[in-house]
Amino acid sequence: MRIAQLAPLWKTVPPKQYGGTELVVSNLTEELVKQGINVTLFACGDSQTSAHLVKVIEKPMYDFVGGFSWNTIQPYEFLTYNEFFKRVSDFDIVHNHMGFHPTVFAQLLPIPMITTLHSSTIPDFPHLINSVKDNLYVSISNAQRSIIPKLNYIRTIYHGIETNKFHFKDKQDNEYLFFIGSLTPQKGIDIAVKAIHELGEKLIIAGEIRKEYEDFLNEKVFPYVDGKQIKFVGEIAFKQKCELYAHAKALLFPIQWNEAFGLVMVESLASGTPVVAYKNGSVPEIITNGQTGYIVENYEDFKKAIKNIHAISRKTCREMAQQRFDVRVMTKNYINLYKQFVSKKS
């Protein structure tokens, strides 16, 4: 098979720091190449891949725009479509990771387009959704389907990571808990710091600050950050992230919205580190309550779960990550799906 992968242009593939979608696209692309499949990746400049790279723009769109935007299609994205259509005859199937915008071209293509949705938000252009709802969509969790239930979902395929790259610690050897992700109300960072402050525990926070949430952080989060009990280390590279996961007592994931897939939960499990999470979005599909962490529904239970985290087997966490969320599992599922639609085409 000859496969085109259309990656978002916002950040490099893989991302240098924060960027869940770009990391998943990289993991999938690299594993496909390892399995001898011909892959072309359409991405921004400075991306690194073993596949053939079509450099759509010279640097990440994040740098061009000066930040991230949820609200509208960016003109730069049309350059991906232009580069892809020049080469469309070179492929048997195209895998779109750029959201809904490229799907308007699906009916015009001589090859199948499969779209994996990475978003947890309802698009603000319902007329487009109605027009493209019958295309081929992969959900990244069953919970994600409730966001836009009218779409033609052909499969749920969970994200996969290179579990062997995460350091496994069979015994917890530090006294801190860990939070990593965007510092937003939806991610529950305010809940995490409040609980840690009240429990007298230690917390390390890593993640991205978005300008629109600065007032929220200054009011609800940063007053607790003293550099001793609660530390903020900003955005971090992969090596430091692995170390922080591996030595943490638990990952805190007090998610407050229907997040489609929490990649950080899987990374934590691969390190042997259990997760304490609120019962929202994909959490019940990823965490097995009482085995790989605790799933809670309110603040008091969140604090109780943190105090009882020592009862969770770190070995079980690691094994579950390898069995369910390794990149090879994800890639096998996608290859089977590609074959299904390529054979229909032929």
Nearest to 95 by CA among 187, 24, 174: 24
pLDDT at 345: 65
pLDDT at 289: 98
User: CATH: 1.20.120.1200, 3.40.50.300, 3.40.50.2000, 3.40.1390.10. Which one for 2-160+326-345?
Assistant: 3.40.50.2000
Residue intervals in the chain for CATH 3.40.50.2000: 2-160+326-345, 163-324
pLDDT in tens, 102-134: 999 999 999 999 999 998 877 767 788 889 999
Q: Is the pLDDT of residue 346 over 70?
A: no
Q: Which fold has domain 163-324?
A: Rossmann fold (3.40.50)
State the DSSP string of 90-140: G-SEEEE-S-SGGGGGGGG-SS-EEEE----S--S-HHHHHHHTTSEEEES
How would residue 159 be classed by pLDDT, with cut points 50, 70 and 90? very high
pLDDT in tens, 221-266: 999 999 999 999 999 988 999 999 999 999 999 999 999 999 999 9
Q: Is the pLDDT of residue 25 over 90?
A: yes
pTM score, whole prediction? 0.92
For the chain, percent of residues with pLDDT exceeding 70: 96
CA dihedral 99, 100, 103, 104 (to 10 degrees): -150
Q: What does pLDDT average to over the chain?
A: 93
Q: With beta carbons less than 8 A apart as the criterion, state whether 98 and 8 touch.
A: yes
Q: Is the pLDDT of residue 73 over 80?
A: no
State the DSSP string of 71-97: SS--TTHHHHHHHHHHHGGG-SEEEE-
